[in-house]
């Protein structure tokens, strides 16, 4: 099929690369406009845009997708595969390709519709997740399903690690879905009404650790927020980023620190957790024990207070 690929971040790159090595013809790439990035805040092409440039594929960018309607009509693609494009598509654009806009979503729809399915799956303790391809309609991830794959969630896996894994296996699912659509072997199936859950975008405020929750919930929360937006708490009035934690059999009041020679424990509503790595404002990521020595112990102080 002749396709226009829509995607923006790194997680969409494996799908674009898989399409470039498939029998389908990538006519162009639709991605979000160049944006400031890095410490110098210099304007950079999106990861998907960079791959397209390197492959000699035309790149379409627009602040609003409707701005590229004329170009898309001229290209007249058979289908538009989508992975994390980052903007809602108006009805006028949805109607252009014969086979529709085929989205790769990183959950088992109708579970975790929305912008952050992987983070919500880990935060809620899901043991199995996966990816779904579906035809985009005007709802929020409500379109009919074309294909799906399942994947176990590792007991210590972060959202970044799981998303990276799903991006690779999901790319194969996306190509297989286009193959089946082209051959006429696939018909979209409506999503079931049962099992719907929402996964809205996670803000920095959402990432704050609540030490009054059980240890297992703190562990899930931190892994879900890693690497972005990053779980955090406060220490002596300043923000402290917390990377994945370990579990212990010790008990401390919620938020209370116990600094040992090679470990830093923090109380929760149940057992204490052991901090792994932390990052103070303006500092590099470091081992929690080294951080505690740098702040002159901190034993007995309360995080998040």
- Binding-site positions for (6S)-5,6,7,8-tetrahydrofolate: 107-110
**Strand locations in 138-272 (E):** 145-152, 232-235, 238-242, 246-247, 257-259, 264-266
| DSSP 8-state symbol, 207 | G
Contact 159, 119 (CB under 8 A): yes
5 bridge partner residues: 29
Closest CA to 159 of 242, 247, 228: 228
Take residue 212 and report the two structure tokens written for it.
Answer: 């009054």
Q: For residue 227, say if its preceding peptide bond is cis, omega within 30 degrees of 0.
A: yes
Rg of the chain in Å (alpha carbons): 22
Torsion angles phi and psi, residue 16, rounded to 5: -65, -45
CB distance 93 to 60 below 8 Å: no
Is the preceding peptide bond at 20 cis, omega within 30 degrees of 0? Answer: no
Dist. CA 25–CA 166, nearest whole Å = 24
């Amino acid at each position: 099929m002749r396709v226009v690929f829509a995607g923006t971040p790194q997680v969409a790159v494996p799908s674009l690369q898989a399409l470039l090595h498939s029998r389908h013809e990538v006519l162009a790439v639709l991605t979000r406009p160049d944006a400031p990035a890095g410490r110098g805040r210099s304007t950079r092409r999106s990861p998907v845009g960079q791959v397209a440039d390197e492959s000699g594929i035309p790149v379409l960018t627009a602040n609003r997708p409707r701005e590229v309607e004329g170009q898309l009509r001229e290209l007249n693609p058979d289908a538009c595969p989508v992975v994390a494009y980052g903007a809602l598509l108006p009805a006028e654009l949805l109607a252009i390709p014969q086979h529709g806009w085929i989205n790769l979503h990183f959950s088992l729809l109708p579970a975790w519709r929305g912008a952050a399915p992987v983070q919500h799956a880990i935060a809620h303790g899901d043991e199995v997740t996966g990816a779904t391809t579906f035809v985009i309609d005007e709802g929020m991830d409500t379109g009919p399903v074309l294909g799906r794959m399942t994947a176990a969630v590792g007991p210590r896996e972060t959202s970044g690690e799981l998303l990276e894994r799903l991006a690779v296996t999901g790319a194969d699912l996306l190509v297989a879905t286009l193959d089946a659509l082209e051959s006429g072997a696939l018909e979209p199936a409506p999503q079931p009404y049962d099992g719907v859950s929402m996964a809205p975008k996670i803000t920095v405020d959402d990432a704050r650790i609540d030490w009054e929750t059980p240890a297992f919930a703190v562990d899930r929360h931190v892994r879900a927020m890693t690497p972005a937006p990053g779980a955090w708490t406060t220490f002596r009035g300043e923000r402290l980023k917390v990377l994945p934690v370990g579990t212990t059999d010790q008990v401390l009041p919620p938020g209370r620190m116990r600094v040992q020679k090679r470990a830093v424990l923090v109380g929760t509503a149940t057992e204490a957790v052991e901090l792994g790595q932390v990052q103070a404002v303006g500092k590099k990521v470091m081992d929690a024990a080294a951080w505690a020595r740098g702040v002159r112990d901190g034993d007995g102080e309360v995080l998040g207070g």
